[in-house]
Amino acid sequence: MISSTVFSQKIEGAWEFKSAKKDIVLLYKDGYFTRTEFTPTEFLLSWGGVATTDAGKLKISLEFNSANSENVGKEVAYNFLIDNGKLQINEDGISTKYKRIDDGNAALAGVWKISGREQDGKIVAIHQTGNRFQWFAINSETKQFSGTGGGTYSFSDGKYTENIQFFSRDNNRVGAQLAFDGKIQNSEWHHSGLSSKGDKIYEVWSRKK
């Protein structure tokens, strides 16, 4: 028997499963969920979407899937429980236990959208918990997935630093560190510096509602 107190525990934050073949990282924050698989040198796949949790059930309405665009728009559901600080999810009949690596509490924690890069319905969004981030470029109307990248970050004294652990467009970017100037002003995140290609950027991000 699983008690209701187990179901009531929040899964907000980041969770990780490591095996000899790959790492799997789950991010859940502000009703959005992503699942990404990668190795130390290669991006494998990522999918995610709007999510809800209720009575030990995680439901996700898929907005992107790098491996199969036909799954976009579909809903998937998994049973889960948190026991001894680990998140156990039943995925296609296989029970996997994830270790919490982030509690999801930080100034930048949330789901952010950049309007300046929105073209032809394409959304460039970034998903952050307390010390992990993932960006993804998608068009949910056409089911197009354009790319994703992510890893860990720090934000202190106006300096935002990313450590890239996976990058779907170029595996050679893995291990790179990017530093930017950043500030939260009027509930918006102002972001400036050099892109991974060395181009100057100045972006304003707003929390996705």
What tokens does 77 get?
């559901």
Of the chain, the end-to-end C-alpha distance in Å amounts to 37
pLDDT digits (tens, 9 = 90+) for 86-143: 999 988 788 999 999 988 888 788 888 775 443 445 556 778 888 899 998 888 788 8
**What pLDDT was estimated at residue 35?**
96
Does the pTM exceed 0.85? no
Task: Please say whether the beta carbons of 74 and 62 come within 8 A.
Answer: yes
C-alpha pair distances (Å), 120 with each of 125, 137, 166, 199: 15, 12, 26, 23
**What pLDDT was estimated at residue 46?**
97
Residues 79, 34: Cα–Cα separation, whole Å = 16
Closest to 64 (Cα-Cα) out of 150, 171, 148, 143? 143
Residues linked to residue 160 through DSSP beta bridges, in sequence order: 155, 180
Residues 191, 58: Cα–Cα separation, whole Å = 33
pLDDT digits (tens, 9 = 90+) for 47-69: 999 999 988 899 999 999 999 99
Closest to 163 (Cα-Cα) out of 151, 146, 147? 151
Domains identified in the chain and CATH numbers: 4-102 (2.40.128.280), 110-207 (2.40.128.490)
Task: Please say whether the beta carbons of 127 and 64 come within 8 A.
Answer: no
Q: State the sign of the Cα–Cα–Cα–Cα dihedral 40, 134, 162, 156.
A: negative
pLDDT digits (tens, 9 = 90+) for 153-174: 998 888 999 999 999 999 999 9
pLDDT digits (tens, 9 = 90+) for 172-206: 999 999 899 988 888 888 888 887 777 888 888 88
Residues linked to residue 153 through DSSP beta bridges, in sequence order: 162
- Output phi, psi for 48, to 5 deg: 180, 180
**Rg of the chain taking only CA atoms, in angstroms:** 17
Closest to 137 (Cα-Cα) out of 36, 33, 32, 64? 64
